[in-house]
Chains A and B, each alone.
Chain A
Amino acid sequence: MSRIIKRPGTRHLMAQLAKESEGLSINERRDFLRKGVMTVGGLAATFSATQAIADTSNLPPMEPKWSKMLGHGVVEFPYGQPSQYESHVVRRTVPWLTAESISSISMSPLQDLKGIITPNGLVFERYHAGVPQINPEEHRLIIHGLVNRPIIFTMADLMRFPSVSEIKFIECPANGGMEWKGAQMEALQFTHGMLSCCEWTGVPLRTLLEEVGVQPEGKWILAEGADGAHMSRSIPLEKALDDTLVVYAQNGEMLRPEQGYPLRLINPGWEGNTSVKWLRRLEIGDKPWYHREETSKYTDLMPDGRARKFSFVQETNSVITNPCPENPIKQSGLIEIEGVAWSGRGKIKQVDVSFDGGVSWTPAKLKGLVLAKALTRFSLVTKWDGQPWLLQARAIDETGYVQPTLKQLRKIRGGNSIYHKNSIHTWQVAANGEVTNVQIS
């Protein structure tokens, strides 16, 4: 048993199982409850109660009940939803991190995601004054400041420009920030879930800047949101001219309200906070603005009491998603060690896996699309026969940067920098297959 996952009282769990079994036939119910008792009696607590349900009357040689009846017709659900059996795949938050939910953060369930695209309803959320409900007809983007002609755009104006679609990750720089001083979070969703990856569609900011004509003194851009927080960040003009996007769509449909509908910035590979949502204004200036989100927040406090500013890049990082605390190893034999790697500087070139806490390493293979500043899947098929593992992944990007150890980062940055913790992560696999979050020093 894990030290932290406390088990509910047997009575409580039994009551819950009894409730879930209502509506089943007497035989189904008896079978269901018997399995439930086994769960209560001894299996790892990480197996949820629903996994204990296995109705043998739907298994071969029986004909399953759904094969003997009709299902619902088309457009009964005009906008489709996941299967009822996937209801555990949701965003989650850590209540004690923030004062309340209006200015807070939620994490993507990385433990349940496949491939490199995060479905729109599962993209992590971060906002400072709740989600505004904006009528796109009444939304405007103003670009002004050190420009030849300030322009106000409607959404229709912006959608007339030739569009581009690019797959890019977005990560909160505080991802993993709860773990600088020690392992705290007994779940992948909480250690790494401030991370998502979508195909974004919109206009390169460069195109819009050519329209307004940036004056030679223009060096920085202030991006501002239309939400109650009027979130603002200073962005160097170089980045804007390089690969910043002004987007209105994600994964094939218009942005979700919590992702900035109808318009947001995407600064590929940079702190998620700079990809300002509900974008209403871009001002070109000759100096940065030093607003709250680039002084009080998103600055990295060092052991000498001084702080780093404008730490824009999300450096190379990786994490193993199978196994992980939510996905313990259930059977000995062949297992695919799988995970995601990403770099704010470009493409992932290589990922290595260690089974002994970083003493020796084995190259994993990259699978599927390998794109710059996008999540990249890695895989290593191996055998597990109950031996204890200290499982780690180490990513290397195309610039040659090697993901650092926690020891290396702590030595330079101490324990109070909150942001940009991209160190090699360790999962401890016990003899019973259970996985816990540990740190090696």
Chain B
Amino acid sequence: MYRSLKQTAISSLLGAALFIALPVNAAEKYGFGQTATPEQIAGWDIDIRPDGKGLPPGEGSVADGEVVYEQLCATCHGFFGEGEARWPVLAGGFGTLKDERPTKTVGSYWPYASTLYDYIRRAMPFTAPRSLTDEQTYQLTAYVLYLNEIVEDDFVLTNENLAQIEMPNKDGFFDDPRPDGHNKRCMKACDDPKTMTIQGTLSGITPVGHFIEGADAPAASHEGQEELEREKAHARKAALTGEDSSDIDDAKPVELSDKAVAGKEIFENACKVCHGSGIAGSPKLGDHEEWAPRVKQGISVLVGHAINGFSGSSGIMPPKGGRVDLSDQQVEEAVIYMVELSRVSK
């Protein structure tokens, strides 16, 4: 009796202790964090849905879009949305989705026009995301739709009519039906060896840098690949002109001026995306041959082109590379950094 009473007492004590230790009952909340204000949410709530939810009031015309597009977008996406190098193709490709090599573009593949507004607003231009005004975003959306012959050249896109635009491939998507493979766990005589064919590797495209250093195949990094291509280009030029391409000693470190040192970070954050790889005809960092004739015009001319934009025979330089937030001085410093690293005397 005494014993069982004692046990009961211990149980009760344990029960009480457990009760005290229980942190919260099911309905109670932790209460961490602050209530988000409407202003805080509005600044970040940038998403758009197919029904138009999220669109800011405003409008933009195809005609105005053309001006902005050619200044900020054509460098990568091409004047007609055809895409430079491996940058995305924006227009065309209609009727190719069943082809051996389909061309998936805004016009041929995207189901909703809202996606275009949303994506430009959240991520474009590539070098300066969130730098466009709502109006510019309407203009660019209208222009890309025009490039895809979805709207006419006099069209004005607004927050009222965007959700009504019917995209050619709007019915082209359906919910994931997987699992669809339906294999069985067979253990013996699962296939007929006589009908089996073995196909080997398509040759020449695997980066094999990690097998053998110096192998004549694509490199293992973008930088390595650029270096490889640069070396090959030098060798080709030298073979054609009979010149010795080794007069510039790439191994010797360049001594940078204070301005160039200041321009390095700007280059990394703003210029490298194009001038690191030389896309769309832009002079590549470190390429002496490409920079020398440009520097010959005078460094102030070159800096002027970088600040105000320039259309040359090899490509387009958007004003400040699209980074209008940079000061003129910052752009100048970045230009000097690229010129000095390319071993061109000013």
| Chain A residues at the B interface, C-beta cutoff of 8 Å | 3-8, 12-13, 16, 45-46, 48-49, 88, 90, 92-96, 98-104, 128-129, 142-144, 149-154, 157-158, 160-161, 182-187, 189-190, 207, 210-211, 222, 224, 228-230, 232, 280-281, 283, 285, 287, 289-292, 295-296, 299-301, 303-313, 315, 326, 350, 352, 356-361, 390, 394, 396, 401-405, 408-409, 412-413, 415-416, 420, 422-423, 426, 428, 436-441
**In the bound complex, do residue B36 and residue A404 qualify as a contact, i.e. CB atoms below 8 Å apart?**
no
Provide the residues of chain A in CB contact with B204, threshold 8 Å.
Answer: 4
- In the assembled complex, which residues on chain A have CB atoms less than 8 Å from the CB atom of B109? 295-296, 307
**B18-44 interface bits toward A, Cβ cutoff 8 Å, 1 = contact, 0 = none:** 000000000001111111100011001
A231 to B123, CA, bound (A): 8
A-B contact pairs, 17 of them (CB 8 A): A4-B201, A6-B216, A16-B213, A46-B211, A49-B212, A94-B218, A95-B225, A157-B32, A183-B200, A184-B206, A187-B206, A230-B122, A291-B115, A291-B119, A350-B185, A357-B196, A361-B190
Q: Are B210 and A189 in contact (CB under 8 A)?
A: yes
B33 contacts A153, C-beta separation under 8 Å = yes
Interface range on chain B: under 10, 10 to 19, 20 to 34, or 35 or more? 35 or more
Q: A96-B86, A99-B277, A310-B176 are in contact. List 11 more A-B contacts (CB 8 A).
A: A8-B215, A12-B214, A13-B212, A16-B214, A48-B211, A230-B123, A232-B118, A304-B98, A357-B193, A428-B198, A438-B199
Are B173 and A295 in touch, CB under 8 angstroms?
yes
Closest 7 CB pairs of A and B: A404-B181, A305-B97, A230-B122, A95-B225, A311-B176, A99-B86, A150-B36
Contact assessment for A222 and B175 in the assembled complex, using a CB-CB cutoff below 8 Å: no
The SS class assigned to the B binding surface is loop
CA A422 – CA B180 in complex, angstroms?
A: 12
Complex Cα spacing A80 to B211, Å: 26
Q: How far is the CB of A65 from chain B (nearest CB, A)?
A: 26
Cβ-based interface call for B68 (8 A): no
- The listed residue (B36, B48, B104, B208) touching A296 by CB distance below 8 A is B104
Chain B residues with CB under 8 Å of chain A are 29-36, 40-41, 44-51, 76, 85-87, 97-98, 100, 102, 104, 106, 109-112, 114-115, 118-119, 122-123, 126, 129-130, 172-193, 196-225, 272-273, 276-277, 279
A408:B220 contact, CB within 8 angstroms: no
State the CA gap A281–B104 with chains docked (Å).
29
Give the number of residue pairs across the A-B interface with Cβ within 8 Å: 318
- Give which listed residue, A154, A295, A301, A396, contacts B115 with CB less than 8 A: A295
By the criterion CB–CB under 8 Å, are A416 and B102 in contact?
Answer: yes
Determine which of A182, A229, A299 lies in contact with B123 in the assembled complex, contact meaning CB atoms within 8 Å: A229
**Cα distance A283–B123 when bound, in Å?**
18
B151 CB to nearest A CB, Å: 19
Contact A95 B129 (CB under 8 A): no
Complex Cα spacing A308 to B205, Å: 29
Which of B114, B173, B187 is A360 in contact with, Cβ under 8 Å?
A: B187
Contacts of A184 in B (CB 8 A): 201-202, 205-206
By a CB distance below 8 angstroms, the chain A residues around B118 are: 232, 289, 291-292
